[in-house]
Amino acid sequence: MATKEDFADLKIIMMGIETRLNSVEKNLTQLISYIKSEVGQVKSDLSITKNDVGQLRQDHNELERGVGHLESQFNCLETGKLEALKIDLDKKLASLKESQVLHEKHDRKYNILIYEIEQKQNEIIWEVLDNFLVKDLGIEKFKVDSFPIANAHRIPSKAPVVGTKRPGAITVRFMHYSVKQCVMANAYKVANSKLRIVDDQPVILKEAHNDLAKIAYNSRTNEKLKTRIRARGVHLILETRLNARGVLNVRKCISCV
């Protein structure tokens, strides 16, 4: 049977246990408070981090849009510059080509070409030319003898006709433009023959003139129109009219640049 001393000892033990439990509870409470505080701090830091990440994403998107806009502007600017440069180069090339054609045209302004004069072996070109000017064009002999001519020669024909070659054209270079004009003023006298006398021009102008001549022939033949081909710089213009007193109308214009 338990004695009072036993109860007293038991009480002392229980009080010690209670004291220890109180201490453990206090420590546990402090630990829980600390953990809650740390969790709160972590949540706060996480929230701040999320906000920072969101701001960074927004900044990145804005930067990306800005770069895209700048790239678009740059491409437009480069395209515009390239187009402007191409237009400028095209203009300069056209101007150079026009200058070249005009220079060649000016260099040949003293020249004429005579086609379909019979070509003989061992011919003397000066005698052939003298005969053409006097007999075919009807220019007085004394005038022909006074014409200062720098050069005259045959140009080999390229197109064979019925197994034989056409006679080569004769190119004549006069020393004075007025002499050439005098000769050309009599060119109409061979208009109804196979002989032809024309201005010597750059190849590109000759080709354009030939194209217009075909159209002019059809206009004269089929439409019974009067025709005229005239040059204005590097442009050749075909004009037509009903009769000699009619108003000239532009049928076609060819630019040789």
**pLDDT by position in tens, the chain (length 257):** 556 666 666 677 777 777 777 777 777 777 777 777 777 776 777 677 777 767 777 777 777 777 777 777 777 777 777 788 788 888 888 888 888 888 888 888 899 999 999 988 899 999 999 999 999 999 999 999 999 999 999 988 775 555 567 888 999 999 999 999 999 999 999 988 889 898 888 888 888 888 998 999 898 899 888 898 888 888 889 999 988 888 888 889 988 87
Which is the CATH superfamily of the domain at 109-200?
L1 transposable element, RRM domain (3.30.70.1820)
Q: pTM of the full predicted structure?
A: 0.57
Strand partners, 249: 240
Which residues are within 8 A (CB) of 215 and not within 5 positions of it... i.e. 6 or more apart? Answer: 238, 251, 252
The pLDDT of residue 129 is 94
Single-letter code of the amino acid located at 189: K
CA 232/CA 134 separation, integer angstroms: 32
